[in-house]
Chain A
Amino acid sequence: MTPHSSSQTVMLPRHWLARAQTVIDATCTDLAPADAAMPRSAFRRLARAVRALPMTAVRVPLAFPPSLLGSLTRLRRKTGVSGEVWEGALRQLFAVLSAAGLAREPRNVDVRGQRRSTAVALDPEAFALLPQLQDLRAQLMHMGAPSNRHEETAVVGAVLGSVVFSGITIPHLSETLVSLERDALEVDIGCLTLPVRGPASCLAFDPPCQQRFALHPVSLLHWGRLLLCRPQDVPESSAPTHPLLPSGWRDPKRLRAALRRTLKAAGFPTWRRFLRTVRIEMLLTAEAPVNVLRRAGGLVTAAAPASDWHRLGWMIADPANASDGGRRTQALTPLDRRTSYDRVARAQIGRVVTALNSDTSGHERSQIAARLERLLKDPQATGPDSAIGRSVVRWAIYLLRRRRYRPNTVRTWLSRISRALHAVDPISSLEDLRDPPRLTAFIEAAIASSAAIESRRAMRTAVRQYLRFLAAQGVQVVAIRWSAQRFLIPTEGRRTALLSPGEIRAVVEMVLRDRADGLALATAILLAGFGGLRRIEVCRLHREDVPRDRRWTVCVRHSKTAAGRRAVALGPVLPPWALAVLERYAAWRTDHCGLDHPHWLLTPEGVPWDPDRLATRIIPILRRVTGKPATFHSLRRAAATWLWVQSVLPSGLELPPDLPNRTV
């Protein structure tokens, strides 16, 4: 077979190897022995791989298939060669063979990088850019006079400041920012809310999760500078949307181009490399890797950052103190009609309260909020007339849109404020909020309108949150000292109802004896009294949540909060008699798996228990047997108390004598 120089020919592998060997020998003759060792070593490995090829003839120039290339790019451990040296040797080898017409130079001979899962990719090129990052930081720190309102500088400064100072390294940050609304930036508390799609997000469907990120003070200054650059916005009621960035910067291409220019000037070749450098610096300084991952959008968390609660912007000085310069002048609406909380607003809030329950999804909440917003904005609609009414509706929209507030919390607060504004000596207008005695009287009356201590606390919290919202909207609100005596809610006289294990057993025995649905009730009592499950958690258990393993683990998936999702191992904490009851019920449930319902706890009729109905059935029995003002939640408190007593016992401490013996 005669090789042609310019066209593909076919030859036997051994002939190809012989020719390649000649070429390599000729090349290595010109090199020093030390330098020739690596190419020869690489060629020997290549020769082994070519000999192992299954075909009887090879096409010349030989194109290396991935299988052949893979074995070559894997490093040789025995010689202790580093990846870079091996890559260099392979490239040299392919270059020589390609020049001789024997092989095609492959596009990629990169040695595979590490495969470990890390919060931050340890990229050497990004590490090498740390000095440039420091220079960029220094440049952003000295951002020039506030009077310098050049828009591009401000926009780029704000975006890069969010990355460099606040560590927000979401890859598509520029695309995200161009579509962001103004209210995503909370200047008073220094938070930016961004939509993020984390890979491990529990919300697998659209829309992406809203994550809040605390902003570094310098980053916040940049954003403030950008806001100052913008012309005064039209009043809220007439504009359909209020984007965060100025009008000319809502094109992602334009923003990307500006960022690219600035980064190139600073020495960063690409946006990605820049983000990696920032992440590496965060890792090497004071940030925990999980925080770096979160700020890179790789982890979605349910809890809000602690900075949510710092530096409340609504603590404005008493307007009677005229020298105070921290007064805000922007009112909620220009017209402030002196009418009280009107019926329309009350009705709308009532509908919201009714519609919300623990099963309300985020989408439904958004729909409710959108409906309220349409009522507010549409001049034809019968929205609330008074400023107070409108403010409450706005607050409802705010709460509904914030996922961190659970539906029960939103319901409670709205119903409390509604009650306070309607039934109690109400504030007639927003101007009353500037009058300290008037506002104080209102708050006192609102708290006093409830009898139970928990209700009073809920009322106080609701009023406080409402006033905080108003202040954040720019309404002048007198500073209230909430720790003052008049607003304190006493804790004395609260009767405790700590149930002992013996009492729980007595209750279980009674329900088993006297009730047709006793087995289910007993099971619910045991789950709450020994496992600490809430009412809703007991009722929402599914069959697959109770696998009946060796430890009698119960998986709580539907809980009041995200933090409540857990696995409870009942085996170690249940006494044998309790275990027997659970086993009985589990056996009954298995026998009745024909009852086509996924819930685990069923009534004898085969329907899942309603939490309210369950409580209604159990509470009277608890009170009758124990003689204490117990509720269903008392069982959870008992479980927590006894588990704590069992597990936390410092050496030398005696148990208090009045605590009954847990073992029954």
Chain B
Amino acid sequence: MSESRRFGARIVPRREALTAAIDALESRRRAVRVDAPLREMIGAFNLAMVYAWLRLSWAAALRPRRDPVVRRNRYDARLGWLFVEDKDSPYGVEARVIPLSEGEGPRLARLQDLGDRVRYRLQTTSHVTLDGLSDDSLFFVILGGRAIPLSPQALRSVLDASGLADSFPWPLNVPRHYWITRALEDGVRLTDLDPFLGHLHDPLPWGPYAARPLSHSASSFRRFATTILKEVGFL
């Protein structure tokens, strides 16, 4: 990229800083052994959840929500799609589907399986309370003796506890900033990406008279998602 003047959004991460942060996160990760001592398991599990959430947010440019939008029955690993209702307004919610790049769907399925095993362990052999956790929660962490859905605040707490707070100075919606900036740089059409990012306006790709299958823009989205994941260091 030539040395020209830059303008626009000020919170678009530099690639070097991103890869350094993801490397730091990867280095802290360790395998989650459900039969390990409780404290060790909780620490590993929390970090695994945070890693998975961050990875998914970079793979799908999700908006970070207080109430996690990705739940057990809101993704299809076989078809590779995510179902999200995240943009709230006084007039309703906006639902959309998001294509998942290859491998992300099975990854979520494995995460779900891990979460089930951890839940069972917590219910049967610990005093950790799970009453704040609904049955369909996919992303959850254990903080202060309670299992709670993974909210942005909880995520920050886990990063703090792992000493990674300084590595992630950006707001949690920074993947969206990065996605759109890189898409414009790489010449990826925003008309293919915008509907899956939640920027919904006519003509909708799933509007009544849309004659183009979603698979076309979905494949463009998936390819770009893979590019982004590679750039930031998840792949």
User: Residues of A at under 8 Å CB distance from B?
Assistant: 32, 34-35, 74-75, 77, 79-85, 111-120, 122-124, 127-128, 130-131, 134, 281, 283-290, 293, 298-299
Interface string of B93-109 (1 = CB under 8 A from A): 11111000000000000
State how many angstroms separate the Cβ of B199 from the closest Cβ of chain A: 13
A289 touches B210 (CB 8 A): yes
Report which of A34, A80, A113, A283 forms a contact with B214, defined as CB distance below 8 A: A283
> Considering the complex, which residues of chain B in the window 2-23 have a beta carbon less than 8 Å from any beta carbon of chain A?
none
In the complex, what residues of A have CB within 8 A of residue B1's CB? Answer: none
In the complex, what residues of B have CB within 8 A of residue A287's CB? Answer: 213
Closest 10 CB pairs of A and B: A128-B73, A82-B67, A122-B95, A289-B210, A74-B90, A127-B83, A112-B92, A85-B67, A75-B88, A119-B208
In the complex, what residues of B have CB within 8 A of residue A131's CB? Answer: 76, 78
B97 touches A122 (CB 8 A): yes
B88 touches A290 (CB 8 A): no
> Considering the complex, which residues of chain B in the window 188-235 have a beta carbon less than 8 Å from any beta carbon of chain A?
200, 204-215, 218
Report which of A82, A130, A286, A293 forms a contact with B66, defined as CB distance below 8 A: A82
Extra A-B contacts (9), CB below 8 Å, given A284-B79, A298-B208: A32-B146, A75-B93, A80-B65, A80-B66, A80-B88, A83-B88, A85-B66, A284-B218, A289-B211
In the complex, what residues of A have CB within 8 A of residue B81's CB? Answer: 284
- Which residue in chain B gives the minimum CB-CB distance to A134? B78
B69 contacts chain A at the CB level, 8 A cutoff: yes
A290 touches B206 (CB 8 A): no
> Given A124-B85, A127-B83, A134-B78, A118 and B67 touching (CB < 8 A)?
no
State how many angstroms separate the Cβ of A33 from the closest Cβ of chain B: 12
Interface string of B63-74 (1 = CB under 8 A from A): 001110100011
State how many angstroms separate the Cβ of A360 from the closest Cβ of chain B: 31
- Which residue in chain B gives the minimum CB-CB distance to A199? B208
State how many angstroms separate the Cβ of A267 from the closest Cβ of chain B: 12
> Given A82-B69, A112-B92, A289 and B206 touching (CB < 8 A)?
yes
Report which of A111, A127, A289 forms a contact with B93, defined as CB distance below 8 A: A111
Q: A283–B206 Cα gap in the complex (Å)?
A: 8
Q: A319–B72 Cα gap in the complex (Å)?
A: 62
> Given A74-B90, A81-B88, A111-B93, A119 and B66 touching (CB < 8 A)?
no
Q: A492–B213 Cα gap in the complex (Å)?
A: 44
State how many angstroms separate the Cβ of A49 from the closest Cβ of chain B: 14
B206 touches A120 (CB 8 A): yes
State how many angstroms separate the Cβ of A128 from the closest Cβ of chain B: 4
Interface centre among B65, B85, B132, B205 (most CB of A within 10 A): B85
Q: A490–B71 Cα gap in the complex (Å)?
A: 68
A290 touches B210 (CB 8 A): yes
In the complex, what residues of A have CB within 8 A of residue B90's CB? Answer: 74-75, 77
Report which of A112, A113, A122 forms a contact with B83, defined as CB distance below 8 A: A122
Q: A112–B92 Cα gap in the complex (Å)?
A: 5
- Which residue in chain B gives the minimum CB-CB distance to A74? B90
State how many angstroms separate the Cβ of A497 from the closest Cβ of chain B: 38
A-B contact pairs, 23 of them (CB 8 A): A32-B146, A75-B90, A80-B66, A80-B88, A81-B88, A82-B65, A82-B69, A82-B86, A83-B92, A111-B93, A114-B92, A117-B207, A117-B208, A120-B206, A123-B95, A131-B78, A284-B97, A285-B79, A288-B212, A289-B206, A289-B207, A289-B210, A299-B208
> Given A118-B206, A124-B74, A285-B79, A84 and B67 touching (CB < 8 A)?
yes
State how many angstroms separate the Cβ of A42 from the closest Cβ of chain B: 15
> Considering the complex, which residues of chain B in the window 42-96 have a beta carbon less than 8 Å from any beta carbon of chain A?
65-67, 69, 73-74, 76, 78-79, 81, 83, 85-86, 88-96
Sorting the interface of chain B by its residue count into under 10, 10 to 19, 20 to 34 or 35 or more gives: 35 or more
How many inter-chain contacts with C-beta < 8 Å in the A-B complex?
Answer: 126
State how many angstroms separate the Cβ of B173 from the closest Cβ of chain A: 11
Q: A289–B207 Cα gap in the complex (Å)?
A: 7
- Which residue in chain B gives the minimum CB-CB distance to A86? B88
Q: A226–B157 Cα gap in the complex (Å)?
A: 62
- Which residue in chain B gives the minimum CB-CB distance to A84? B67
- Which residue in chain B gives the minimum CB-CB distance to A122? B95
Q: A116–B89 Cα gap in the complex (Å)?
A: 13
- Which residue in chain B gives the minimum CB-CB distance to A35? B132
State how many angstroms separate the Cβ of B127 from the closest Cβ of chain A: 15
In the complex, what residues of B have CB within 8 A of residue A284's CB? Answer: 76, 79, 81, 97, 214-215, 218
Report which of A74, A127, A134 forms a contact with B74, defined as CB distance below 8 A: A127
B83 touches A289 (CB 8 A): no
State how many angstroms separate the Cβ of A282 from the closest Cβ of chain B: 9
A79 touches B66 (CB 8 A): yes
> Given A80-B65, A81-B67, A130 and B91 touching (CB < 8 A)?
no
Q: A118–B209 Cα gap in the complex (Å)?
A: 9
Interface string of B20-32 (1 = CB under 8 A from A): 0000000000000
Report which of A81, A84, A120, A127 forms a contact with B76, defined as CB distance below 8 A: A127
In the complex, what residues of B have CB within 8 A of residue A113's CB? Answer: 92-93, 95
In the complex, what residues of A have CB within 8 A of residue B148's CB? Answer: 34
> Given A82-B88, A124-B85, A289 and B66 touching (CB < 8 A)?
no
> Given A82-B86, A83-B85, A117-B207, A286 and B67 touching (CB < 8 A)?
no
In the complex, what residues of A have CB within 8 A of residue B215's CB? Answer: 284-286
Report which of A34, A75, A116, A288 forms a contact with B210, defined as CB distance below 8 A: A288
Q: A607–B205 Cα gap in the complex (Å)?
A: 49
In the complex, what residues of B have CB within 8 A of residue A74's CB? Answer: 90-91
> Considering the complex, which residues of chain B in the window 118-135 have a beta carbon less than 8 Å from any beta carbon of chain A?
132
A288 touches B213 (CB 8 A): yes
State how many angstroms separate the Cβ of A470 from the closest Cβ of chain B: 37
B67 touches A289 (CB 8 A): no
State how many angstroms separate the Cβ of B51 from the closest Cβ of chain A: 23
Report which of A32, A111, A130 forms a contact with B79, defined as CB distance below 8 A: A130
A289 touches B200 (CB 8 A): no
Interface centre among B148, B205, B206 (most CB of A within 10 A): B206
State how many angstroms separate the Cβ of A41 from the closest Cβ of chain B: 12
Q: A131–B77 Cα gap in the complex (Å)?
A: 9
Q: A116–B39 Cα gap in the complex (Å)?
A: 48
Q: A281–B97 Cα gap in the complex (Å)?
A: 11
In the complex, what residues of A have CB within 8 A of residue B79's CB? Answer: 130, 281, 284-285
